[in-house]
Amino acid sequence: MTTASDAAAPPFREAVVDLDAVRENIRALAAAVAPARTMAVVKANAYGHGAVPVARAALSAGAEWLGVADIAEALALREAGIGAPLLAWLHDPGADFGPAIARDIDLGVSSREQLEAISDAAASVGRTARVHLKLDTGLSRSGVAPGHWPDVVARAAELEAAERILVRGLFSHLANTSPEEDAAQLAAFELGVVQAEAAGLRPEVRHLASTAGALRLPAARFDLVRIGIGAYGIPPFGDGTTAADLGLRPVMTLRGRVAAVRRIEPGTGVSYGHTWRADRPTNLALVPLGYADGIPRQASGRGEVWIAGARRPVVGRIAMDQFVVDVGDDPIETGDEVVLFGDPLTGAPSADDWGDAADSIGYEIVTRIGARVPRRYLGGE
């Protein structure tokens, strides 16, 4: 954990990413789901944490697979020299699958069209493409519709016999709606697996669960679980369960330093539109992060930060580059450390607290931290 005592002068703004926490979280989750194996999901720049360092840390702690949304994200990991099994599942309709096949990137398949395009690309590259067929079991996003599944698995078996493709996996994704609906998705997935096997497919891995299912629905673990948010030490449930309750440690601490302090009189309005006015003499601290840095404007007047040993309320509108905190009569000075979120065991707000303040979730808070915020890695890359 980074505190003011770590550095004489806290930085203007930074996101501290503790790779030891990534390793601990992956170890804890991998042990909890064993003998199922673990895929670390590092899409969207590892939820804002930095894809390459997080991927390396996760692999060193026992994750055997990596998962991303886009092929471009997968290629960037390969460019960085990461050779682990790697799955990409969200494709541009006109995607050129050749480079991914050439770099041993496994491809999720959500339609007959994608299956044919991947097979054609494999033929031109002169390789066998490794695919994971995705069944839509009820999330209604991507995945093959159940009515088309028998056709897709039959065609996949033909293409596998022709060595155009290897069906390495079968997968789906849960809506995490209710135990009943998760159970219905689980049953739909099991039926899809039976149909695929009847068509002659023998996939190495069947996978359904992300962090939430991996933790709360053991029957959904199958051969592999796809762990995203848990690796970052943020609970997936949105029901008040904390990271510590799950044996996880938040990875990102977002901090900065107080850019200015001013004394104001009662009645003084603060920030655009004067949505807040002081009802007493008080001190305001200026925090140099704003919505350009991913601090949600929606959390204006609702978020809290940690300064000098206490949580302090955001007052007035959060602006592009900055916002204002009411620090009362406490002796806060320009240059003091401000922690926007980190490990709540330290007293600081959590990413989920900011999610609540913005009618959102911790996932969105960390993922949207902007490019202007430098990432600093603890725990060695």
Binding-site residues from annotation: 141, 320
- Does the annotation mark 272 as catalytic? yes
Residue 271 in contact with ligand PLP, rule: CB under 6 A:
no
Residue 211 in contact with ligand PLP, rule: CB under 6 A:
yes
Binding mask 213-232 for ligand PLP (x = CB under 6 A): -------------xxxxx--
What are the structure tokens assigned to 246, written together? 């799950």
Comparing CB distances to ligand PLP, the nearer of 29 and 270 is: 29
Comparing CB distances to ligand PLP, the nearer of 42 and 165 is: 42
Q: Which of 232, 272, 363, 377 is catalytic?
A: 272
CB of 371 to ligand PLP, least distance (A): 21
Comparing CB distances to ligand PLP, the nearer of 228 and 233 is: 228
Comparing CB distances to ligand PLP, the nearer of 212 and 348 is: 212
Q: Which residue has the tokens 């620090």?
A: 327
Other CB atoms within 10 A of residue 302 CB: 16
Binding-site residues from annotation for substrate: 141, 320
Other CB atoms within 10 A of residue 150 CB: 15
Comparing CB distances to ligand PLP, the nearer of 171 and 276 is: 171
* All residues at 6 or more sequence positions from 329 whose CB lies less than 8 Å from its CB, including other chains: 282, 283
With contacts defined by CB under 6 A, name the span among 115-123, 210-218, 284-292, 294-302 that binds ligand PLP: 210-218
Other CB atoms within 10 A of residue 187 CB: 12
CB of 1 to ligand PLP, least distance (A): 23
CB of 272 to ligand PLP, least distance (A): 34
Residue 173 in contact with ligand PLP, rule: CB under 6 A:
yes
Nearest-CA neighbor of 282 among 260, 296, 265, 306? 265
- Does the annotation mark 47 as catalytic? no
Residue pair 366/296 in contact (Cβ under 8 Å)? The answer is no
Residues 141-160 interacting with ligand PLP (rule: CB under 6 A)? none
Residue pair 53/33 in contact (Cβ under 8 Å)? The answer is no
Nearest-CA neighbor of 252 among 371, 357, 380, 362? 362
Q: Which residue has the tokens 């939430």?
A: 212
Nearest-CA neighbor of 374 among 15, 46, 53? 15
Residue pair 284/291 in contact (Cβ under 8 Å)? The answer is no
CB of 242 to ligand PLP, least distance (A): 16
Among 28, 30, 41, 63, binds ligand PLP (CB under 6 A): 41
Closest residue to ligand PLP, judged by C-beta, is: 228
Length of the chain: 381
CB of 232 to ligand PLP, least distance (A): 8
Among 85, 236, 303, 316, binds ligand PLP (CB under 6 A): 236
Q: Which of 43, 232, 291, 363 is catalytic?
A: 43
Comparing CB distances to ligand PLP, the nearer of 44 and 117 is: 44
Residue 252 in contact with ligand PLP, rule: CB under 6 A:
no
Give the active site residues: 43, 272
**Residues making contact with ligand PLP (CB under 6 A):** 41, 43, 89, 173, 210-212, 226-230, 236
